[in-house]
Amino acid sequence: LGSWIKGMYSTSSSFEIDEVIGIVQGDCSNTHSLMAILKHEDTQVIPFSYPYYREYDLLNEEIERLEKHYNTNRDKTKRIKEKCDTVRKKLIELDRMSWQDGLVKGIENHLWLVCSSDFNGNIQQYSEELDDFIKSAKSRKLKKAKYRLGFVGVPPIIPDLYGFLEEKGARIIFNEVQRQFSMFYMEEDIVNQYLRFTYPYTLEKRVEDINKEIELRELDGIISYTQSFCHRQLDHLLLKKYLKCPILQLEGDQPGKLDERSKIRLESFLEMID
């Protein structure tokens, strides 16, 4: 059983969370069992599905079901989306500063983008802190990275990964899934916005998106990260075949620092692309 599922169960139990939205299609298959356990423990669970074939009508029905559950409507949803989009435009600038200007470290890019999934629960505070960070980043100078890397797959459970790479002269300037969380698409229609979210659907759109960014950001290599016991480890076979630059698979399980084996593999990968 994957650590993410264990962590979500532990969190929902420890913090006495009343309600959980579970992604029953488009993410971890273990979510089904997790929802059954939570329901048995009197936690309200709401299923949500990303349609496999990216069908507009089916996804629209899922969103409408959520709106009905939370006693809201599409007009109100649109107004909140517009508010979120003003912050997302700032994140687009932060991301550009990462790969084009070299002013943002990989770990900084990772944290700002991954936290944009819910804006840390306070969009106003998040927006103000983001303004301050962008302003300070524009006035500093970072050492130019020797290796320009991309990171694909779920956000890592290894806290020192980005720092280790920086020490070796490498910088991650493309965080695939974290960037997807940020919803850079600026679609007016929220359904189309979530149809463009690549991760829950088939691998083809992910490959298309990643290859586009490989070319745009002039990446030297890709780190493909997966969690132990995750079905997405199989995706690596096709990523390795279709991505247009060297790729290294890295696996994580429990939260913790890089082990020596992973460090050696990363160092060897950098030597290989040198």
Using CA atoms, how far apart are residues 154 and 232, in angstroms rounded to an integer? 9
Per-residue pLDDT of the chain (274 residues; tens, 9 = 90+): 667 777 888 888 888 888 998 888 867 677 778 888 888 888 899 999 999 889 999 999 999 999 999 999 999 999 999 999 999 999 999 999 999 999 999 999 999 999 999 999 999 999 999 999 999 999 999 999 999 999 999 899 899 999 999 999 999 999 999 999 999 999 999 999 999 999 888 889 999 999 999 999 999 999 999 876 666 667 778 899 999 999 999 988 778 899 999 999 999 999 999 8
Using CA atoms, how far apart are residues 182 and 185, in angstroms rounded to an integer? 9
Using CA atoms, how far apart are residues 152 and 175, in angstroms rounded to an integer? 6
For the chain, the domains span 50-273
The one-character DSSP state at 274 is -
- CATH T-level fold of 50-273: Rossmann fold (3.40.50)
Q: What is the 3-state secondary structure (H, E, C) of 61-127?
A: HHHHHHHHHCCCCHHHHHHHHHHHHHHHHHHHHHHHHHHHHCCCCHHHHHHHHHHCCCHHHCHHHHH
pTM: 0.91
